[in-house]
Amino acid sequence: MEFRSQVSQALDREHKEHLALLGELERTIASARRYEPAWHRLFMSLSRSLEHEVLGHFEFEETSLFPRLADAGDAGIAQLLTEEHDAIREVADELRPLLAALAPADGAAQDWDALRRLALEYCDRQLAHIQKETMALLPMVDDLLDDQTDAQLALHYASS
């Protein structure tokens, strides 16, 4: 799908990057019985991406896009996506300390079972959420934003 607005294009680009990371993570750990030190880079990428997605990306959508959708009569999708953000934040809040505690030098994860379970849950929730945003939110944003507002919001998002 190709999007017209700068905002939709930026969010779609981030979605694709995040999906690639989530796919790699899911393939790597889906059947793993223990943590492997070679995965440290992957988990640190997840940690950085999680922070950007859960803090920056979600906040931008909730403060800059969802109110505009509600004003345009599309409050239902804004509410649904906000609820999904909240559910993803809950998983991220549990996942964050486990990622921070990884010890690559000795190949240890303090609680591999919890880390694996939460990472896979995060992948599942994000995949479903990104699909909804790609199919519903981003086309709505294309229709909603005029060129000037789009440019202003794109600049604001890029600088945050």
3-state SS, residue 160? coil
Check which CATH number belongs to the domain holding 99 and give it: 1.20.120.520
- If DSSP states are collapsed to H, E and C, what string results for 58-83? HHHHHHHHHHHHHHCCCHHHHHHHHH
Give per-residue pLDDT as tens, 19-38.
Answer: 999 999 999 999 888 888 88
Reading the block at residue 97, the tokens are 């300390």
Query: Does the pLDDT of residue 113 top 80, yes or no?
Result: yes
3-state SS, residue 10? helix
Distance of CA 9 to the CA centre of its chain: 15
- Note down the domain range covering 80: 6-159
The predicted structure's pLDDT at residue 24: 97
Q: Read off the pLDDT band of 3 (50, 70, 90).
A: very high
Q: Is residue 32 part of a domain?
A: yes
Q: Decide which of 109 and 112 is more confident.
A: 112
Distance of CA 71 to the CA centre of its chain: 25
Domain total in the chain: 1
Q: Is residue 41 part of a domain?
A: yes
Q: Is residue 1 part of a domain?
A: no
Q: Is residue 120 part of a domain?
A: yes
The predicted structure's pLDDT at residue 160: 83
Q: Is residue 67 part of a domain?
A: yes
Contact 108, 35 (CB under 8 A): yes
